[in-house]
Structure 1
Amino acid sequence: MNAIQAKEISIEKILQNLGCEPTKSNQNESWYLSPFRIEKTASFKLNRKINRWFDHGEQKGGNVIDFVIAKFGFNVSEALSYLEKFDSFFSFHEQIFNSEAQEENTINVEKIMPIQHVALIQYLKSRGIKEYKTNDCLKEIHYTIKDKKYFAIGFENKSNGFEIRNKYAKICIGKKDVTLVSNQSQILRIFEGFFDYLSFIQIRDNKNLEQSDYLVLNSVGLITKNLSVLQNYRTIELYLDNDTTGNKYTELIIKSFQDSIDYRRIFKGYKDLNEWFSLCEIEVKF
């Protein structure tokens, strides 16, 4: 992908994938809480007509390449690589995020059931997940798009939407939102994706660790909308990804909540907890 092609990718789609939703919109513009920091008043403006953004708090803006560089700390080559994958992802299931195509490419959920399809069970095992049958958030979802039938693992969020995963798909059906698993604990453990959460559940059971509540972000950007949840806990354990974005939000949460602990040392050298868990058999040190 070259820069000209990359600039055609909608900034709005990338913001949606990060879990960012506008606080207000008109025909050409939308305002968002800044994806660069935690704030209460929206200062990030997107001009959808010309596909440009401007952050009034940072006093900078630009095109989609500029946004990816500012957000993730990429160089131009890394930004183009990221956007190439992003473009491929949305070309596969663009109806999820493109409101103009929503009517034409409607997703219909046909069936929700316990996971039983052998392909999905094998996919879970390939990610290191063997214990899943008792997890109430995890379902087998059968759905259609333009009369084509699909099935996948579905992880339910608090808005009754589903994070959809199989070997080929990574989408969301319904509204993008976090998943909060409550066990009436004073400890909250936070994960970016549900495979990290499922990995930890197996670690917890194997190590007889103390039970807790769990917040699965499903998109790390959603943490800014759910900071009030964190105020209810005595201890917050963070298991975000080992990347620039994970570093940023881990630092922000620790600054905002003094009883937060960064536990990423457990899977140092790996992208996330699930990658470490599925590839290594290392004694977990807590």
Structure 2
Amino acid sequence: MSLAVVPGLLSTAQPAAAHTGDGSVNHVWLDLGDAPSSQQTIAYSTFLASLRAAVSDTWRDGTQYTQNASQQEGIVRVSLSAHDDSGNRRAVDLWVQPDNLYVVGYSPQGSGVSYTFSDASFNRAPVDTSITNLPFGGNYQALVQAAGRDRSSMPVWWNDIRASILQLANQTSANTNTQNTARSLMLLIQMTSEAARFNDLEGVFRAAVGDWGWGTNGLPAWQQNLENNWGVLSNFYWNLVGAGNTSTPTVPYVPGIGTIENTDQVRRYLRVLHTFNAGWNYPNPSRDEL
């Protein structure tokens, strides 16, 4: 098992080794600390660098992209911790696929149980707990239905992040508190997978973990449109650099942002691309990213 740890508020860590090997578990960690601070902002970005390294290979121009899928694929354990009102540290592990950065489930640390999305398809062999399906899927429509709200009405404040970590860390059943579980997962997926993919999402959460007074009551439409077009923008980039499936790619249009015309514009928004071996093309894949 390869290991990269971002252990807490004032600590530093080296990013994880590139790639997560077949059958292995790559581990990255973030402790939320006791309050927002500039040090926590640094710790959060260091954590994201570790997560990106755990799933990525590097193209010749320095661009990071997710590793290729395999039947024996490993998994990334993303540990998030916070202190409850009694000062006890509680932690939850999110399970992340390294070929696409999808969160497929979570495990309250120390519980011996993982709760996975009902539609999740991944190599379960590296997961060292029992596995129980949640009563909802991880695709966009299913998660929104279970949460009773979408990203446009999802609060992003330090207290919301803390509450989401604690809610999942204290969960004891797949079938209780399902709305709160779906809401917590939606927020923490944004904080981890989506922020690893997109520069602007990292900025949202850097601000939230750094300042009591900063937050937002939902993501604007243009940021959601970016998330929904991760596959399209990745495919466009690979076609431009000659690693895709056409020499005359369709120029993407992202509502709220406009036309994306070149590799520099793709890299302005995307920090990690989807692998060029995924075979994605227009339109988006059937699973909406979250």
TM over 0.5: no
Of structures 1 and 2, the one scoring higher in RCO (CA 8 A, sep 6+) is 2
Structure (1 or 2) with the larger CA radius of gyration: 1
Greater fraction strand: 1
Structure 1 length normalisation: TM-score? 0.28
